[in-house]
Amino acid sequence: MTTNNQAGGPRHTVGVDVGTGSARAGIFDSAGRMVASAKHDITVFHESGAMVEQSSTQIWNAVCHAVKEALAQAAVSPERIAGIGFDATCSLVVLGEGGQPLPVGPSEVAERDIIVWMDHRAVEQAERINATGHDVLRFVGGKISPEMETPKLLWLLENRPKVFAAAWQFFDLTDFLTWRATGDLSRSTCTVTCKWTYLAHERRWDESYFRTVGLGVLADEGFARIGQTIVEPGTPLGSGLTPEAAAQLGLRAGTPVATGVIDAHAGGIGTVGAQGQPEACLAYVFGTSSCTMTTTRDPVFVPGVWGPYYSAMVPEAWLNEGGQSVAGAAIERLLTLHPLAGEAASRAASESQSLPTMLAGLAAQASGGLSGAVRLAHDQGLHVVPEFLGNRAPFADPHARAVIAGLGMETDMESLVALYVAGICSIGYGLRQIIEVQAQAGAPIEQVVISGGAGRLDLVRQLLADATGKPVLATHADEPVLLGAAMLGGVAGGLYENAREAMAAMSQISKVYAPATGEIAALHEARYRAFTQLQDVARAIR
């Protein structure tokens, strides 16, 4: 049910995505076609050790710039915007009274009020939480990650007690954005279920968990600082955009604002419903990090894989979430280790392309096709385990580190291309590992639907299909994460009855990458065995 033909022309929706390095906005029509987009960079502050911080003030300003610019490009009047949806990284925003930013780290700079998703300052707190064996941990794959919010809250309480005490609200970044837009303090089922231990299937916080792990003060307050009203993604918030937010965004006051989702989950929403069977598809969001999302009708408990989460992505379905803490970033780091990396990056820049794009093109040329590229890595004996920042799934091991085997003295372009191919294959083997563990637990999938900036290249998609043995599907949308956010805006604005209807209407499959057979399949099978052996050795010697 769309209300697309109202007087004044077709309606559009706005999707806003806040990633690690930028805020982006896209304007979409009701068929899911993006008519304009814009982005504005944001700063990442790397503090000592594992601390990574950002500024919520800067991020909101970047969002406003991006939305205004996208609207100008689209030449769509604010009156034709049916709704706006937000997604963002699962980062922790800490605000004092009146929404004032509070410093989350030793810099004491108040504007640095966000602990970024990839921040690992709370490893010790996560280990202590896991040692409790609390029943809530069953719903995060058995072990909580230091990238989730309760370990970070515990770190703040123990290391920045004055900041913790002064905090008026602790927000997931998505919920911060919808609050800034509407003044509504409601939290998303997606954010609090996936990252804060909210039990959506029971519609409650588990008070005993917070008391057991040392965060009883939040329970004493009735969870007022982390969310008392929890609503599903796509639910319209407040009275829509406040006059102040509307002016900043270049939209009209009262424009419906959807309850948002985490960025990876927006990618899932933007892809898995394209064929009307979300339960058959694994959504694979391949960006700075990678995220896997598997939808099931009944809860499936998978050791080392987050979830099962109820109604966190597809309404009234369960979600299992895995992935790698770094994926696109792991490839970038891997390439910098090669002696030719700097020169090659300069050459790529002179040709107006990224280094991975250039290397993918060279790999395809050298191997006479996409699937054959794996031979480039095999011929040089290169094997990679890309766990530079630990293993998110299926081992939930933040202490794991990368392994590179087979390095020689080569300094030429051929060896750099081979290293790149070995890295991409290794991402695929990690994905296969997650798929297999989930299938053994009762959550099999038939195909992988890909999104994310690091997964746009044909070579990457084909190597992932070959490495996993599963078809990899790409959607028409160049920006499925933005599309997923825009779909939620369409639901809030009444263009669609619910998220499933929006998913079916606004997303279509454009290409299928079938897995290789024969010799290439056998080669990947052997390399996958080597991958798991290297993981085992790394664990043993650590």
Q: What is the CATH number of the domain that holds 76?
A: 3.30.420.40
Q: Is residue 146 part of a domain?
A: yes
* Domain C-terminal end among 207, 241, 261: 261
Q: Is residue 18 part of a domain?
A: yes
pLDDT given at position 9: 60
- Together in a domain, 309 and 166: no
Tokens representing 51? 């601390």
Beta bridge partners of 127: none
pLDDT given at position 141: 87
- Together in a domain, 130 and 93: yes
- Together in a domain, 16 and 118: yes
- Together in a domain, 255 and 299: no
- Together in a domain, 76 and 164: yes
- Together in a domain, 209 and 286: no
How far does CA 25 lie from the centroid of its chain?
Answer: 16
* Domain C-terminal end among 215, 236, 261: 261
pLDDT given at position 7: 41
- Together in a domain, 335 and 463: yes
Count of domains observed in the chain: 2
Single-letter amino acid code for the residue at 375:
R
Alpha carbon distance 247, 251 (integer Å) = 6
Buried/exposed code over 28-63 (b: 16+ C-beta within 10 A; e: otherwise): bbbebebebbbbbebeebebeeebbbbbbbbbbebb
Q: Is residue 97 part of a domain?
A: yes
* 3-state SS, residue 178: helix
Q: To the nearest 10°, the Cα dihedral for 370, 436, 532, 267?
A: 60
Q: Is residue 395 part of a domain?
A: yes
Residue 308, preceding bond cis, omega within 30 degrees? yes
Q: Is residue 462 part of a domain?
A: yes
pLDDT given at position 326: 87
What would the 3-class secondary structure string for 460-476 be? Answer: HHHHHHHHHCCCEEEEC
- Together in a domain, 39 and 138: yes
pLDDT digits (tens, 9 = 90+) for 292-340: 999 999 999 998 899 999 999 998 999 999 988 889 999 999 999 999 9
* Domain C-terminal end among 234, 261, 288: 261
- Together in a domain, 188 and 313: no
Q: Is residue 498 part of a domain?
A: no
Q: Can you spell out the DSSP letters for 112-161? A: --EE-TT--TTHHHHHHHHHTT-GGGGGBTTS--TTSHHHHHHHHHHH-H
pTM of this prediction exceeds 0.85: yes
Alpha carbon distance 388, 330 (integer Å) = 6
Beta bridge partners of 451: 285
Q: Is residue 3 part of a domain?
A: no
What is the end-to-end Cα distance of the chain in Å, rounded? Answer: 57
The DSSP letter of residue 4 is: -
- Together in a domain, 195 and 135: yes
Domain that holds residue 158: 12-261
Q: Is residue 189 part of a domain?
A: yes
- Together in a domain, 121 and 101: yes
Residues of the chain under the 50 pLDDT cut = 1-7
